[in-house]
Amino acid sequence: MTGKLYRDYADGRAKKSPLVRDCAVAWLIGGLICAGGEGLRRWYLTLTGDPEDAGLMVSATLIVLTALLTGLGVFDKLARHAGGGTLVPVTGFANSIASAALDSKSEGFVTGVGAKIFTVAGPVILYGTAAGMLQGLILWIAGLF
C-alpha cells in the first residue's frame, strides 16, 4: 500500500474532531490548572512571605499531585477529555515521567523504571539544559566586551 492510499484510507475511517470545542475545553482545563496553581501560590505566600519559596512550593505540589493522579489513572482520563490543556508545563512533565515509570515497572526497578523513566522527559531536560548553557555562554562572552 502506498503512502497516499494509506492516508486516504485512514482519513476515510478517522473520526472527525470538533476543533473549536476541543480548543475551548483545552483552554478551560489549562486555565483551571493555572488558576489552581495561582491559588496555591497565594496561599503559600501567606504561609512563607517569600514569593520565590511560594513558587517552588507550587511547582512541587503540582508535580506530586500530577504524579499521584497519574498513578491512580485519573490524570489520563482528564487528559483524554482536556487534550493539550493538561500539558501546562509542570503537569505535563510530571505526567510524562510518572507514565514512563508506571509503564516500565514490570521490567524491574533498574532495567525498567531506572532506565526508562526519562524516555519522554529526557530530551526536554537535555535540550533545555543545553539551551540554558548556550545562553549563559553568550551572555558571558557579551559581558567581556
Segment 40-98, tens digit of pLDDT: 999 999 999 999 999 999 999 999 999 999 999 999 899 888 888 888 878 888 888 88
> H/E/C letters for each residue in the chain?
CCHHHHHHHHHHHCCCCCHHHHHHHHHHHHHHHHHHHHHHHHHHHHHHCCHHHHHHHHHHHHHHHHHHHHHCCHHHHHHHHHHHHHHCHHHHHHHHHHHHHHHHHHHCHHHHHHHHCCCCHHHHHHHHHHHHHHHHHHHHHHHHC
Mean pLDDT, residues 119-143 = 88
pTM for the full predicted model: 0.70
Confidence of residue 137 (pLDDT cuts 50, 70, 90): very high
Percent of the chain with pLDDT over 70: 100
Per-residue pLDDT for 28 more than 90? yes
